[in-house]
Amino acid sequence: MAADEATSQSATPAGEENSPLKSAYRIFAYFGLFTIFGSLIFGFRYHVAASAANFGYNLVLYAIFITPHLVMTRSWFKQGLWGDPVGSPLERRVYITISVLLWLAVLALHEPLPGLALNPVDWIRFAGAVFFLWAFFLFFQGATVEMIDGLLGVPGSVSAYSHGPETPLFTEGPYASVRHPQYRVFILASLASLLIYPNMSQLFWVALLSGTFVAFIPVEEAQLVRARGNDYGQYMSRTPWRLFRGIW
């Protein structure tokens, strides 16, 4: 689930802030967010004797997961379905709910993959676990619970979902170093997981997930440039690196 790089304030229906549904949705949304990291540290299914056809099956499964995600974040989709290119708190919660349910389906239904597997010594696995925890810690750098609530569309929060000029940009803290620090965190966590599970299945899923984040960056930035013009262009000039300073 990719995170938009902007926040916006939106009205919340009266009484929504303290309702039991808010608590239930908040638990569900946070659980869904952490299952992305959880899947990396838990590992994906691998078996040396698994069928090679499972590569194709898993690709189809992933395509089913990612297609609604790529469509539902587009302004034209929000305009067509919800009547507002910016979206709304309800629209954000629908998007998050669908994304979480589809990702849980991927975790439940994906098949083991065959291929090369290494057997690293324990200290390499331990280093991978420490590296993963460090990356996970960086996910919260410069963030607050309120900001993550907004990203997930928790009722009563300031929601993070719009690319338009009606929202302020994140340009300070980790965003002053690279333009997509949260995507960088996930890629670092993915690389760390390969030290824990150095097999073809883990590599397959890490490549799919990380590749999706990398591919999503130009799409997202094109939307931001169209919506904000010089404001985002100036930010790109001040912060030229997307993910890793000196690389890209």
Do 186 and 194 touch, CB atoms closer than 8 A? no
User: Which of 18, 3, 1 minimizes the C-alpha distance to 159?
Assistant: 3
Over residues 114-129, mean pLDDT: 94
Stated pTM of the model: 0.85
Q: Vertex 214, ends 4 and 150: CA angle to 5°?
A: 15
- Across 135-163, b (16+ Cβ under 10 Å) vs e yields bbebbeeebeeebbbbbbbbbbbbbbbbb
Q: Vertex 35, ends 111 and 158: CA angle to 5°?
A: 140
Over residues 160-174, mean pLDDT: 68
Q: Secondary structure of 68-134 in the HEC alphabet?
A: HHHHHCCHHHHHHHHCCCCCCHHHHHHHHHHHHHHHHHHHHHCCCECCCECCCCHHHHHHHHHHHHH
Q: How far is CA 105 from CA 115, 177, 208, in A?
A: 24, 35, 16
pLDDT score at 6: 42
> Residue 72 — very low, low, confident or very high, per pLDDT cuts 50/70/90?
confident
Considering the domain 21-238, what is its CATH architecture?
Up-down Bundle (1.20)
Q: How many CB atoms lie within 10 A of CB 197?
A: 22
Do 208 and 69 touch, CB atoms closer than 8 A? no
Q: Is the pLDDT of residue 100 over 90?
A: yes
Domain range summary for the chain, segments of one domain joined by +? 21-238
pLDDT tens, position by position, 191-228: 999 999 999 999 999 999 999 989 989 888 888 888 78
Task: Record the tokens describing residue 197, joined without a space.
Answer: 């599970």
CA 172 to chain centre: 20
pLDDT tens, position by position, 124-165: 999 999 999 999 999 888 777 888 888 888 887 766 556 665
